[in-house]
Amino acid sequence: MEQIQEKERTFTTEKRPYISFYAGPLTCKTDIAGLEFDFNYGARVNVPEGDWRVKLIDRDCCLTLYDEKASNVLVTSTKKYYVNFRIEVYRNDRLVLSHDMDLKQKKVLIKFPVGTLGDIIAWFPYAQVFKYKHDCEVYCAMAPELAELFKPVYPDLHFIGPEERPESIYASYYMGIFFPCDDRMHQPVDWRIVGLQKTIPYILGLEPVEIRPKIVPQNLERIIAEPYVCIATQATTQSKYWNNGTGWLNTIKHLKAKGYRVLCIDKENCHGSGSRWNTIPYGAEDFTGALPLQERVDLLFYADFFVGLSSGLSWLAWAVGKPVVMISGFSLPLTEFYTPYRVINYHVCNGCFSDSSIEFEHHDFAWCPRHKNTDRQFECTRFISAEKVCAVIDRLMTDHNFKL
């Protein structure tokens, strides 16, 4: 536990903030002047000057976490994720405040980071589960373009801007994957072990089960008459790419031979860093661009299926309800949502992103922790063949009775 003066904290992964931690003034007052508490950014208790003693208890573990004297100080728990706290405050060794955290009918803030797509889509449905479990009033602070995707399906939640903070918030929780990965202040488990999605129910004290979020189209008019498939080939780091030089070329040929139009819906048609640049694959129709996400949803809705990487558009296609062929070697299947059409080659190096002994380096676009600058660099996807991907596509088409 800590005794601190309240101030704004910022956790950064690069130069820009990933998420800001600001709990604001304490919101739960008492009949004793200067004695206040809440559960914003952990359990917080402010005591005035005097002979005070503060206890913080985990009710689920039946464990006293903190028991110390205090005077004119803010006491806060070191754990900032969901804990079923009990607060006890003594003055002159006499109990003057006992409070069991009770979220029912209270305002709760769930804050999501900005600048990421797939993570937010993965994490969002747990906000509604949390609301129903505790019968509380949940405010989701998130990027407006993502909020607009969820509003039609989740009317029981309140959507606010990423830095907004309503008055009288009783408790707040911060969603994310936090670095270094052994950070146990913001996350109770290592997300590399439990997966990108299931780390959030651990943070919120929920059952760690996979939940598919729901995102629906707004324009129900089909704009492309012919059968088509959407693909996305770009990613935020080179290790996520399908680094087989003819992979996409031969897969697109295969899809076209099946009778499909192949639409590339990446934001960028060329992306990279330093000496590594990746362009839209030959043969794909260029539907790239910084378009509103809702337009991507409307386009995905009428696609037969989606072929992509471990990236945000794969999560978006999954949320829309499309079958997803996911090509990834740097992550293990537990990292992303379950799809029976996951393609990975276990005969070569794989799974570095899911390895709890390796820390992901955001700043290094060419990150390949085991074989960087060797002839084995990115072998995890270089040795995923187009033949394998095409075989998975054929199985998907059979499973879903797609006959053209």
Give the residue numbers annotated as catalytic, written as ranges.
119
Question: Cα–Cα distance between 271 and 273 in angstroms, integer?
Answer: 7
Q: Determine phi and psi for 333, rounding to 5 degrees.
A: -55, -30
Alpha-carbon radius of gyration of the chain? 24
Q: Residue 12's beta-bridge partner residues?
A: 17
| Dihedral in degrees, nearest 10, Cα atoms 254, 255, 259, 260 | -160
Where do the DSSP E strands lie in 216-269? Answer: 228-231, 261-264
Both tokens of 331, joined, read 């992550």
C-alpha closest to that of 59 among 99, 86, 88 = 86
Please work out, in degrees rounded to the nearest 5, the angle formed at the alpha carbon of residue 27 by the alpha carbons of 21 and 29: 145
HSE (side-chain half, CA atoms, 13 Å) at 110: 28
Task: Say whether 197 sits in a helix, a strand or coil.
Answer: coil
- Tokens representing residue 164 in the block: 């907004």
Quote the tokens at residue 270. Answer: 């060329």
Ranges of beta strands (E only) in 165-227 are 169-174
Q: How far apart are CA 98 and CA 100, in angstroms?
A: 7
Q: Which amino acid is at 354?
A: S
Q: Which of 185, 2, 11, 165 is nearest to 83 (CA)?
A: 185
Per-residue b/e over 154-170, b at no fewer than 16 CB within 10 Å?
beebbbbebeebeeebb
Cα 297 from Cα 8, distance rounded (Å)? 36
The distance of Cα 129 from the centroid of its chain, to the nearest Å, equals 16
Distance (Å, whole) CA 384 – CA 348: 9
CA distance 399 to 339: 13
